[in-house]
A and B are shown apart, each in its own frame.
Chain A
């Protein structure tokens, strides 16, 4: 099925450990992004990419790295996990802006990360 696939669904880390959250889409979308969801705060943008080889910071980028070597994949790396990074993470993708019809975001099903 076409869509945005995130792995893993759940993860528990100890403080200081590193890991990569995977995100892949098969819709040939140029734009991909990562959000984190915390209670009462909605979703906040971490990093985004408008195409392979291009990434930029969102609202809350500290503690996270991204890369975009292919159109399909946009992994999110936590180099040294902290308890403040306990959250639900969503990857989203869309076509690039093409005139008046702004392409809606397609979301993955999220990764629940707990850092102890």
Chain B
């Protein structure tokens, strides 16, 4: 079974500064995907960024980037130039790479990190 751990229940950052959210996971799989989801107060789940384990290059989406360390099973999210709209819960998630017809996107989530961006 896979587990995902987010060790920072709450964090805060000043607007325009950079913040890094931590995530570690445990798996015996070699091929998998990792995700960061954002959940603002509206409760909507929004995909921020994803990383395929077989890719060594870290994923980047505008102000969001990851530091993927496969050997250490670590997947941190860096938010640059933080904006007030980044205030939200952030969830790290894992799924195995599946190749059969009964495959799906069964995600295992971490407990979340609540991020507050202060003006």
**Which residues of A come within 8 Å of B, CB atoms?**
31, 33, 35, 40-45, 48, 50, 54, 56, 58, 88, 90, 92, 94, 96-97, 100, 102-105, 107, 109-110
Can you name the residue of chain A whose Cβ is closest to the Cβ of B43?
Answer: A110
The answer to whether B105 and A105 have CB atoms under 8 Å apart is: yes
- In the complex, 22 of the A-B residue pairs with CB atoms within 8 angstroms, ordered by the A residue number, are A31-B105, A33-B104, A33-B106, A35-B107, A35-B109, A41-B111, A42-B91, A42-B93, A43-B109, A48-B106, A50-B102, A54-B102, A56-B102, A92-B105, A96-B101, A97-B103, A97-B104, A97-B105, A102-B33, A105-B47, A107-B44, A107-B45
Contact partner of B112 (CB less than 8 A), chosen from A31, A42, A103, is A42
Query: Which of chain B's residues 92-110 have a Cβ closer than 8 Å to chain A?
Result: 93, 95, 97-99, 101-110
Q: Does B52 contact A (CB under 8 A)?
A: yes
Instruction: Give complex CA distance A78, B110 in Å.
Output: 25
**Which residues of B come within 8 Å of A, CB atoms?**
4, 6, 9, 33, 35, 42-45, 47, 50, 52, 91, 93, 95, 97-99, 101-112
The answer to whether A96 and B103 have CB atoms under 8 Å apart is: yes
The answer to whether B107 and A43 have CB atoms under 8 Å apart is: yes
The answer to whether B112 and A97 have CB atoms under 8 Å apart is: no
